[in-house]
C-alpha cells in the first residue's frame, strides 16, 4: 500500500470516530464563533464613526438655504463647484413643534426626502420602512421619548402631532433611520413638507455636500465659502460641519470601547484555551491506537499525519460552521453596538470571517502537533501505555486525603479526580475563571453604570425638570418675568412639589483657563439636588463653587484651591469645594446666584429642577404640571434625559457576558466529556461495585468542583480589578473622574455569591456528560478501553 494509503487507512477517515469528531467539531464551532464575534467587536470599536461616515457617505457640510433668495436649480448647480466631490438635495426642510401622547415632544427638524439613499448622507433604515405616503415619518434613531412621562415610540403605532401648523397634522412613525451626522431629526415624503410649514415661517432648503478636503474647521470654512460664493448673496441661512458630529460620536464610542474590548479579549482567550485543551486531549486519547499502528509498521511521520488528519477534518468543519455561526450571532450584538456607537449599522468585517476560522485551524494544528510528534517518537509499547491512563502516581495523594475526609465517597472520589490530569485541570480552571470573570464583571459594570446613570440624571433627587422647549417659546426668546412667575406659581400649586430651584448657565472666563467655562448658577437652595461628588463636597456658602473634572484638568487647580471668575459683569474669587461627576470635556462650575453675579438672568435660564414628595408619580406629576403650564407657554415639564447610552450599554454587557459564560460552560462540557472517556473503564468498575447512577452523577460533577472553586476565587478579585480599570478607562474617555461609590459595587457577601458563577458555569457544563456517564450500562463501560 502507498504511503498516503496507509495513512488514510490508519486514520479511518473523518467519520470513523464519530463522538470525538463531533466533540472537536462542536468545540471549534463555538470557539470560532466566539473568535469571530470577538474580532468583529474589536473592529466595531475601532473608529466606528469614521468607518460609518465613509460607508454612509456622510455629509461633511449640511447647508440651509433660503429659497426666497435662491432656486432649487441654483442649489443643485453647486454640486459642480470646485472642491465638491458629491452633493445631495436640495431637500425641503422645516422645524416643527411636536406632541406625543398629549405631552410636548419637543422641536424636530424634518426633511423631505423621497428615498433614504443617495450620493451623500446615505441613511441606514434601522427599523420599519421609508415613508411612502402622507402622514408618515421616519425618525432619526437618536430621537427617543424625553422621559418617564412619555412612553417609548413604536414603529407603526405611535403618532406625533405637529402643533403650530394648520390642522395639527399627525405623523405616524413608520421607521427609524440613522444619519451619521444627524442631518435631520426625521424625514417625510417631499409632498408632506408643505403641510408642515407654519404660516409666516420662512421656508428652507437643505443641501448636503462632500468635499475633496474637509478634515479641519478651516477647510470646512473654505468649502462653505466656495459654495456660498456660487449662490446669490444672502441665500445661505446656515451650515453645519460633520466635525461636531464626529467629536460627539467618538466621545460616546470611546466610552464603550474599554468594556467591549475587555469582553472581546476574554472571548478570544477562552477560545484559544478551550481549543488547545480539547485538541491536545483528543490526540493524547489516541496514543493507545498510535502504539498499535506503530506496532504494525507505521513510521513516525505517518503517525503524525494520521493524527493531524484525524483532528483536522472535524476541526475544519467546526471552523467553517463556526464562522457562519459567528456571523449569525454577531448580527444582534453588532446591532446593539451600532446603537451604542451611534452609527447606522455595523457588520462583521470580511477579514474577521476569514481570520477567525484560519486562526482556530492553525491553533488546532499547533495544539495537535506537539502531542502527535511526541507520539511519533514514542515506542509502540510506550504509546500504548501512555494512552491507557494518566501518568501513574498523579493524584494519589489527593485521593488519600479525600478518603480521610468525612465526605460521601462519590464526592471524595470526584474532588480528587482532577489531580490526575493537572494540565487539563489548569486549562479548564482558566476557562471557567474567564467565564466567571466575565459574569462578575458584567454584573459589577451594570451596577456601576446604573449608579453613574442615576448620578448623571439625578433621577432619584430631580425626577422632573422644567425646560423652555415648549411650543410657546419663540426663536431665541427668553421667558418674561411674568412667565417665570406663572411657572413658579404653577409648581408651588402642585401638591406633589417638594422643592424647586431654577438653574442658569452661561459662559464665563476663569483666570488660567484658555477655553470658555460654563458657569451654572442656582437661584436658591441646591443642596438637595444630589450631584455626585468625586472628591470634596457640594458648595454651601457664598464664594464657594463645585467644579467638574474637566475644569480641574483645564485649570490645573485642585479641590480647596481658589479661582478667579469673570462672569462678564463682575470678577469674583471663588473657592473650589468639590469635584462633581459630570461627564463632559467642557469645563463647568456650579455655585449660587450670589456667588456668580450676573449669571442668573432670564437670558441664561437653563431649567428648573423639581423634587417631589414621597409617593408622587413623576409621570402623573409631569402630566399635571404640563396641563397647568399650558401648551402656549414657554415651559414644559420633562423627565431626566440621557439614559439611552446606559440602557444600550447594559444590554450589550448582558449579551456579551452571556455568550462568554456559555462558551466557558461548553469548555467545561468538553473537558468533562474527555475525562469521562478517559475513565470510562473505571466508571464501569465503580458501577459493578454498586455505585448508583445518582452517585456517578455526583462524582462526575465533583470532578469539576475544585477547579471551579479555585476559578471563582481567582475570578472575583480579577473581576473587581477589571471593573475598576474599565470604569476608569470609560470615565477617562468621558473626561471625568469616578466617585469611589461607582466602583465599590461589590460587597463581600455579594462578591462571594457572584463568585458562585464559576460553580454554576462548571456544574451546568458538567451535567450533560455526567448524566451520560450515569446512564451508561456497566457492562458497556467495562468493555470500553
Residue 358 binds to other proteins (criterion: CB under 8 A): no
Here the cell at position 260 is 467591549
d(CA 367, CA 272): 10
Minimum CB separation of residue 374 from other proteins in Å reads 22
Minimum CB separation of residue 689 from other proteins in Å reads 4
d(CA 103, CA 417): 66
Pick the closer one to other proteins by CB: 607 or 698: 698
Q: What angle is formed at CA 648 by the lines to CA 646 and CA 652, rounded to 5 degrees?
A: 115
Beta carbons of 263 and 41 less than 8 angstroms apart = yes
Q: Which of 165, 195, 389, 454 binds other proteins (CB under 8 A)?
A: 389
Site string for other proteins, 69-108 (x = CB under 8 A): ----------------------------------------
Pick the closer one to other proteins by CB: 221 or 777: 777
d(CA 409, CA 403): 7
Minimum CB separation of residue 289 from other proteins in Å reads 20
d(CA 704, CA 10): 34
Stretch binding other proteins (CB under 8 A), from 67-75, 145-153, 347-355, 773-781: 773-781
Pick the closer one to other proteins by CB: 67 or 410: 410
Residue 682 binds to other proteins (criterion: CB under 8 A): yes
Q: How many helices, marked H, and strands, marked E, lie in the chain?
A: 23, 20
Residue 782 binds to other proteins (criterion: CB under 8 A): yes
Pick the closer one to other proteins by CB: 683 or 727: 683
Pick the closer one to other proteins by CB: 256 or 705: 705
DSSP state letter for 201: P
Minimum CB separation of residue 695 from other proteins in Å reads 6
User: Pick from 120, 107, 89: which is nearest to 162 by CA?
Assistant: 107
Here the cell at position 77 is 448647480
Pick the closer one to other proteins by CB: 221 or 394: 394
Beta carbons of 128 and 156 less than 8 angstroms apart = yes
H-state helical runs in 545-692? 549-555, 618-629, 644-678, 680-688
Minimum CB separation of residue 777 from other proteins in Å reads 6
DSSP state letter for 47: S
Residue 416 binds to other proteins (criterion: CB under 8 A): yes
Site string for other proteins, 114-153 (x = CB under 8 A): ----------------------------------------
d(CA 667, CA 511): 60
Minimum CB separation of residue 358 from other proteins in Å reads 41
Minimum CB separation of residue 681 from other proteins in Å reads 8
Residue 685 binds to other proteins (criterion: CB under 8 A): yes
Beta carbons of 738 and 728 less than 8 angstroms apart = yes
d(CA 734, CA 69): 43
Minimum CB separation of residue 693 from other proteins in Å reads 5
Q: Which of 57, 210, 687, 735 binds other proteins (CB under 8 A)?
A: 687
Stretch binding other proteins (CB under 8 A), from 65-73, 387-395, 558-566, 637-645: 387-395
Beta carbons of 27 and 181 less than 8 angstroms apart = no
Pick the closer one to other proteins by CB: 764 or 782: 782
| Strand partners for 716 | none
User: What backbone phi and psi angles, to 5 degrees, belong to 92?
Assistant: -65, 145
Pick the closer one to other proteins by CB: 101 or 778: 778
Minimum CB separation of residue 680 from other proteins in Å reads 13
Pick the closer one to other proteins by CB: 614 or 690: 690
Residues in the chain: 785
Minimum CB separation of residue 18 from other proteins in Å reads 17
- Identify residues 588-627 at the interface with other proteins (CB under 8 A): none
d(CA 382, CA 291): 7
User: What backbone phi and psi angles, to 5 degrees, belong to 522?
Assistant: -95, 135
Q: How many CA atoms lie within 13 A of 392 on its CB side?
A: 1
Minimum CB separation of residue 32 from other proteins in Å reads 36
Pick the closer one to other proteins by CB: 155 or 782: 782
Beta carbons of 123 and 52 less than 8 angstroms apart = no
Q: Specify the pairing of strand 464-467 against strand 236-241.
A: unpaired
Q: Which of 405, 515, 777, 784 binds other proteins (CB under 8 A)?
A: 777
Q: Is the peptide bond before 547 cis (omega within 30 degrees of 0)?
A: no
- Identify residues 417-446 at the interface with other proteins (CB under 8 A): 420
Pick the closer one to other proteins by CB: 389 or 662: 389
Here the cell at position 95 is 422645524
d(CA 728, CA 736): 9
Site string for other proteins, 648-677 (x = CB under 8 A): ------------------------------
- Identify residues 393-412 at the interface with other proteins (CB under 8 A): 395-396, 399-400, 403, 406, 409-410
Stretch binding other proteins (CB under 8 A), from 111-119, 484-492, 683-691, 747-755: 683-691
Minimum CB separation of residue 375 from other proteins in Å reads 22
Question: Whole-angstrom distance between the N-terminal and C-terminal Cα of the chain?
Answer: 29
Stretch binding other proteins (CB under 8 A), from 305-313, 358-366, 388-396, 536-544: 388-396
Q: Which of 16, 129, 537, 775 binds other proteins (CB under 8 A)?
A: 775
d(CA 364, CA 371): 12
User: Pick from 181, 60, 176, 186: which is nearest to 111 by CA?
Assistant: 186
d(CA 457, CA 642): 7
E strand or H helix at 187: strand 186-188
Minimum CB separation of residue 780 from other proteins in Å reads 8
Pick the closer one to other proteins by CB: 403 or 493: 403
Minimum CB separation of residue 771 from other proteins in Å reads 12
| Strand partners for 590 | 520, 546
Q: Which of 1, 218, 350, 392 binds other proteins (CB under 8 A)?
A: 392
- Identify residues 688-727 at the interface with other proteins (CB under 8 A): 688-695
Minimum CB separation of residue 688 from other proteins in Å reads 5
d(CA 719, CA 433): 10
| Strand partners for 400 | none
CA dihedral 655, 660, 661, 667 (to 10 degrees): 150
* Other C-beta atoms lying within 10 Å of the C-beta of residue 493: 11
Beta carbons of 2 and 295 less than 8 angstroms apart = no
CA dihedral 6, 8, 9, 12 (to 10 degrees): 150
Pick the closer one to other proteins by CB: 328 or 403: 403
User: Pick from 277, 386, 295: which is nearest to 303 by CA?
Assistant: 295
Minimum CB separation of residue 409 from other proteins in Å reads 4
Number of residues that bind other proteins (CB under 8 A): 32
Residue 480 binds to other proteins (criterion: CB under 8 A): no
Minimum CB separation of residue 731 from other proteins in Å reads 52
Pick the closer one to other proteins by CB: 564 or 688: 688
Minimum CB separation of residue 697 from other proteins in Å reads 11
Pick the closer one to other proteins by CB: 499 or 687: 687
Pick the closer one to other proteins by CB: 32 or 676: 676
Q: Where does this chain bind other proteins (CB under 8 A)?
A: 389, 392, 395-396, 399-400, 403, 406, 409-410, 416, 420, 681-682, 685-695, 774-775, 777-780, 782
Amino acid at each position: 500500500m502507498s504511503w498516503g494509503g496507509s495513512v488514510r487507512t490508519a486514520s479511518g477517515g473523518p467519520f470513523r470516530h464519530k463522538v470525538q469528531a463531533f466533540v472537536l467539531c462542536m468545540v471549534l464551532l463555538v470557539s470560532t464563533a466566539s473568535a469571530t464575534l470577538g474580532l468583529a467587536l474589536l473592529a466595531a470599536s475601532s473608529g466606528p464613526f469614521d468607518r460609518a461616515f465613509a460607508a454612509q457617505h456622510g455629509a461633511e457640510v449640511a447647508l440651509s438655504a433660503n429659497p426666497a433668495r435662491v432656486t432649487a436649480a441654483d442649489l443643485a448647480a453647486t454640486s459642480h463647484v470646485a472642491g465638491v466631490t458629491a452633493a445631495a438635495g436640495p431637500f425641503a426642510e422645516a422645524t416643527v413643534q411636536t406632541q406625543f401622547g398629549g405631552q410636548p415632544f419637543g422641536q424636530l427638524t424634518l426633511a423631505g426626502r423621497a428615498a433614504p439613499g443617495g450620493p451623500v448622507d446615505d441613511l441606514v433604515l434601522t427599523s420599519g420602512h421609508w415613508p411612502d405616503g402622507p402622514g408618515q415619518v421616519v425618525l432619526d434613531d437618536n430621537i427617543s421619548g424625553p422621559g418617564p412621562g412619555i412612553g417609548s415610540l413604536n414603529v407603526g403605532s405611535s403618532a406625533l402631532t405637529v402643533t403650530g401648523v394648520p390642522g395639527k397634522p399627525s405623523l405616524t412613525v413608520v421607521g427609524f433611520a440613522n444619519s451619521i451626522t444627524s442631518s435631520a431629526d426625521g424625514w417625510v415624503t417631499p409632498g408632506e413638507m408643505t403641510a408642515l410649514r407654519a404660516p409666516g415661517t420662512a421656508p428652507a432648503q437643505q443641501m448636503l455636500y462632500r468635499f475633496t478636503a474637509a478634515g479641519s474647521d478651516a477647510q470646512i470654512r473654505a468649502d462653505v465659502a466656495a459654495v456660498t460664493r456660487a449662490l446669490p448673496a444672502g441665500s445661505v441661512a446656515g451650515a453645519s460641519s460633520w466635525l461636531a458630529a464626529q467629536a460627539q460620536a467618538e466621545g460616546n464610542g470611546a466610552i464603550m470601547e474599554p468594556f467591549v474590548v475587555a469582553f472581546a479579549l476574554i472571548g478570544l482567550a477562552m477560545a484559544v484555551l478551550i481549543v488547545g485543551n480539547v485538541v491536545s486531549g483528543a490526540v493524547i486519547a489516541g496514543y493507545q491506537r498510535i502504539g498499535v499502528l506503530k506496532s504494525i509498521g507505521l513510521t513516525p511521520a505517518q503517525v503524525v499525519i494520521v493524527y493531524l488528519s484525524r483532528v483536522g477534518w472535524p476541526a475544519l468543519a467546526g471552523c467553517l460552521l463556526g464562522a457562519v455561526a459567528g456571523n449569525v450571532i454577531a448580527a444582534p450584538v453588532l446591532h446593539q453596538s451600532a446603537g451604542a456607537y451611534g452609527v447606522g449599522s455595523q457588520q462583521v468585517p470580511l477579514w474577521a470571517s476569514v481570520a477567525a476560522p484560519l486562526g482556530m485551524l492553525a491553533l488546532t494544528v499547533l495544539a495537535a502537533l506537539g502531542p502527535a510528534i511526541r507520539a511519533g517518537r514514542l515506542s509502540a509499547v510506550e504509546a500504548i501505555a501512555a494512552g491507557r491512563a494518566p501518568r501513574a502516581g498523579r493524584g494519589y495523594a489527593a485521593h488519600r486525603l479525600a478518603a480521610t475526609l468525612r465526605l460521601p465517597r462519590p464526592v471524595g472520589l470526584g474532588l480528587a479526580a482532577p489531580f490526575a490530569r493537572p494540565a487539563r485541570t489548569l486549562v479548564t480552571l482558566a476557562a471557567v475563571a474567564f467565564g466567571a470573570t466575565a459574569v462578575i464583571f458584567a454584573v459589577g459594570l451594570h451596577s456601576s453604570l446604573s449608579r453613574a446613570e442615576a448620578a448623571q440624571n439625578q433621577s432619584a433627587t430631580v425626577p422632573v425638570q422644567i425646560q423652555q422647549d415648549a411650543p410657546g417659546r419663540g426663536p431665541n426668546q427668553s421667558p418674561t418675568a411674568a412667565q417665570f412667575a406663572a411657572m413658579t406659581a404653577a409648581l408651588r400649586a402642585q401638591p406633589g412639589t417638594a422643592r424647586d430651584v431654577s438653574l442658569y448657565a452661561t459662559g464665563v472666563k476663569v483666570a488660567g483657563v484658555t477655553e470658555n467655562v460654563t458657569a451654572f448658577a442656582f437661584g436658591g437652595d441646591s443642596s438637595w439636588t444630589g450631584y455626585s461628588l468625586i472628591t470634596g463636597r457640594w458648595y454651601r456658602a457664598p464664594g464657594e463653587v463645585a467644579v467638574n473634572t474637566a475644569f480641574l484638568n483645564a485649570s490645573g487647580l485642585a479641590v480647596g484651591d481658589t479661582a478667579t471668575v469673570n462672569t462678564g459683569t463682575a470678577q469674583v474669587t471663588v473657592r473650589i469645594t468639590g469635584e462633581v461627576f459630570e461627564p463632559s470635556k467642557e469645563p463647568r462650575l456650579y455655585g449660587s446666584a450670589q456667588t456668580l453675579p450676573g449669571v442668573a438672568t432670564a437670558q441664561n435660564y437653563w431649567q428648573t429642577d423639581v423634587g417631589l414628595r414621597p409617593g408622587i408619580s413623576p409621570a402623573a406629576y409631569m402630566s399635571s404640571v404640563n396641563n397647568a403650564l399650558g401648551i402656549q407657554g414657554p415651559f414644559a415639564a420633562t423627565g431626566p434625559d440621557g439614559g439611552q447610552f446606559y440602557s444600550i450599554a447594559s444590554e450589550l454587557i448582558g449579551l456579551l457576558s452571556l455568550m462568554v459564560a456559555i462558551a466557558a460552560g461548553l469548555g467545561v462540557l468538553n473537558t468533562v466529556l474527555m475525562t469521562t472517556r478517559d475513565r470510562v473503564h473505571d466508571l464501569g468498575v465503580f458501577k459493578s461495585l454498586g455505585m448508583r447512577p445518582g452517585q456517578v452523577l455526583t462524582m462526575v460533577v465533583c470532578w469539576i468542583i475544585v477547579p471551579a472553586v479555585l476559578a471563582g476565587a481567582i475570578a472575583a478579585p480579577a473581576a473587581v480589578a477589571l471593573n475598576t480599570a474599565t470604569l476608569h478607562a470609560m470615565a477617562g474617555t468621558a473626561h471625568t473622574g469616578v466617585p469611589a461609590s461607582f466602583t465599590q459595587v461589590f460587597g463581600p457577601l455579594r462578591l462571594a455569591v457572584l463568585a458562585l458563577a464559576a460553580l454554576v458555569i462548571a456544574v451546568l457544563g458538567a451535567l450533560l456528560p455526567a448524566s451520560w456517564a450515569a446512564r451508561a450500562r456497566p457492562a458497556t463501560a467495562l468493555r470500553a478501553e
